[in-house]
Amino acid sequence: MAFANLRKVLISDSLDPCCRKILQDGGLQVVEKQNLSKEELIAELQDCQGLIVRSATKVTADVINAAEKLQVVGRAGTGVDNVDLEAATRKGVLVMNTPNGNSLSAAELTCGMIICLTSVVSDGQTWHVMSISSMLPNLEAWKNHVTEAFQFHF
């Protein structure tokens, strides 16, 4: 499906500024407005061919049906539970998402939480000078905890 007449896109939720720049560099006019009511969203979409949302904006059947020029809805995130897929399909509006967009961040958070189990970085109120020898007792406790919690053996 080609979007030859895709000229204007509304970003209705908070996104990294690079998103706007990428779209503008691609020749699109970008409007950013957040916290819109359903009526305000419909009014803004009257001359937009594209809509980019995260999870705050609800793209209901009413919104899709009232947005006569809407061709594509992009979800900056994994799910599309805030977009009425049946209404979009009936109207021929393409719905896209970024299912792996946060994989690196999720992995980083997981690693950070595992490190916090050692009690080395979880206390943000104090600073400690540590050496390997001072961590060994905690490291052993951490290994035991990981072994019990995740059935992972070192």
Q: Average pLDDT, whole number, for the chain?
A: 84
Chain-centre distance of CA 23, in angstroms?
Answer: 17
pLDDT band at 14 (very low <50, low <70, confident <90, very high): very high
What are the Cα distances from residue 127, in Å, to 109, 121, 122, 124? 21, 9, 11, 8
pLDDT single digits (tens) 104-150: 888 888 887 777 776 555 555 555 555 555 555 566 676 776 666 66
Classify residue 23 as exposed, middle or buried by CB count within 10 Å of its CB (0-12, 13-18, 19+): buried
Which residue segments constitute the domains of the chain, with CATH numbers given?
8-96 (3.40.50.720), 102-150 (no CATH)
Query: Is the model's pTM score more than 0.75?
Result: no
